[in-house]
Amino acid sequence: MINFYVYSNGRLCECDKPQNGCWVSVVDPTPQEIKDLIDDFGLDSGFVKSSLDEEESSRIESEDDQTLIIIDTPVSSMDEDNTKTFYTMPIGIIITKEYVFTISLHETQVLDEAVRGTIRNLRPSFKTRFVLQILLRISALFLFYLKQIDKISSAAEQELHDAMKNELLMQLLALEKSLVYLSTSLKANEVTIGKINRGRVIKLYDEDQDLLEDVLIELKQAIEMANIYTGILSSMMDGFSSVISNNLNIVMWRLTIVTIIMQIPNIIFAFYGINTVDLPIPYTIFPILLAVFLTVITSFMLMKWKKK
């Protein structure tokens, strides 16, 4: 799907055909639309294919008056077992003399917010500023999703204190995996934005320096938060592993006590059941009383030993 947007009356408005200085939004294009992008707009075929590759890493490059910026944006999803996971998806931004293109394989929150007008003063005609505003919003989304991970892990921790459930442990494992994805993408984005900051690929204007600094600050803060949450979640998982191991030891201890106590009557009744005349007071209630007495004494000694 290809849509065209221009800035008019203080907001982005969709138009029927491309205009000079407009934003061309491309989401999950068909083979024919990909062909139109290459033939009608003259986009580099390699740039278009890279933008639609889910495994493409964040980078920036220029060729034939076209600049490609691939940036990773965070995405969340809910699995069938109600486990929330977070991952990243690349967005391709192609800057030409006439237009700014955003190409993605799926719809993303940042592009949806841009269309709805959540990102204020988004003017495609100011190409550099347009790109920096998109990058700033992506960095803010990383921070938002990292806070979501912290809230989910804190809630899971409280529930795990009350009862160990496999669903909660799977959620923590999914969050730990999500943090790895986010941390990797953040570091790749930092390298890409660092290249933009040097001003060799995209021409930077004086009024854009403050915005670029905001992008770098948000990005560094997200990287620090990701590292902190990764350490906290790893420590939490190690702690709960120790708790689970300790609970297993307690269960095995109780089963061992029950087994020992159950063996005492069996031993006594086995002796009195072998037809030996030398055993004291046979054929009376004495074996039962002896079994009860030894069982009580053994139970008391084992419980007292456990408390020590």
* In the predicted structure, residue 146 carries a pLDDT above the cut 70: yes
Q: CA-based Rg of the chain, rounded to a whole angstrom?
A: 33
Amino acid of residue 79:
D
Of 228, 246, 264, which residue is a domain's last? 246
pLDDT at 234: 80
Binning pLDDT at 50, 70 and 90, where does residue 160 land? low
For residues 261 and 242, state if they share a domain: no
For residues 80 and 95, state if they share a domain: yes
For residues 260 and 154, state if they share a domain: no
For residues 202 and 289, state if they share a domain: no
Domain holding 296, by residue range, is: 247-307
Phi, psi torsion values for 73, nearest 5 degrees: -120, 140
For residues 101 and 125, state if they share a domain: yes
For residues 67 and 160, state if they share a domain: yes
Q: Is 274 helix (H, G, I), strand (E, B) or coil?
A: coil
* In the predicted structure, residue 281 carries a pLDDT above the cut 70: no
Q: What element of type H or E holds 308?
A: none
Which residue's entry shows tokens 């984005």? 189
Q: Is the pTM of this model over 0.85?
A: no
Q: What element of type H or E holds 114?
A: helix 109-116
For residues 266 and 127, state if they share a domain: no
CB 102 within 8 A of CB 124: no
CB 192 within 8 A of CB 71: yes
CA distance 261 to 240: 32
Strand ordering across the sheet containing 23-27: 11-15, 2-8, 23-27, 100-104, 84-95, 66-78, 59-63
Binning pLDDT at 50, 70 and 90, where does residue 164 land? low
Lookup: tokens for 137: 């919003």
Q: Which residue has the higher pLDDT, 59 or 304?
A: 59
For residues 133 and 278, state if they share a domain: no
Lookup: tokens for 268: 């006594």
Mean pLDDT of the residues in the chain: 81
Lookup: tokens for 209: 């320096």
* In the predicted structure, residue 33 carries a pLDDT above the cut 80: yes
What is the tally of structural domains in the chain? Answer: 2
Which of 90, 119, 86, 85 is CA-nearest to residue 105? 90
Q: Please, what sign has the CA dihedral across residues 76, 79, 84, 88?
A: negative
Of 246, 265, 290, which residue is a domain's last? 246
> How many CA atoms within 13 Å lie on the side-chain side of 69?
25
Length of the chain: 308
Distances in Å between the Cα of 196 and the Cα atoms of 14, 29, 140, 207 are: 29, 28, 18, 15
| CATH number (domain holding residue 143) | 3.30.460.20
Phi, psi torsion values for 105, nearest 5 degrees: -80, -25
DSSP state of 18: -
Q: Is 52 helix (H, G, I), strand (E, B) or coil?
A: coil
CA distance 111 to 103: 10
* In the predicted structure, residue 185 carries a pLDDT above the cut 80: yes
Max CA pair span of the chain: 113
Of 193, 226, 246, which residue is a domain's last? 246
For residues 47 and 124, state if they share a domain: yes
pLDDT at 282: 62
For residues 31 and 42, state if they share a domain: yes
Binning pLDDT at 50, 70 and 90, where does residue 276 land? low
What's the pLDDT tens digit per position in 186-201?
A: 888 888 888 888 766 7
For residues 233 and 279, state if they share a domain: no
* In the predicted structure, residue 131 carries a pLDDT above the cut 70: yes
Which residue's entry shows tokens 């000079």? 20
What's the pLDDT tens digit per position in 86-115?
A: 888 888 988 888 888 888 888 888 888 888
pLDDT at 306: 60
- Beta strand pairing call for 23-27 and 2-8: antiparallel
Q: Is 193 helix (H, G, I), strand (E, B) or coil?
A: helix
For residues 261 and 122, state if they share a domain: no
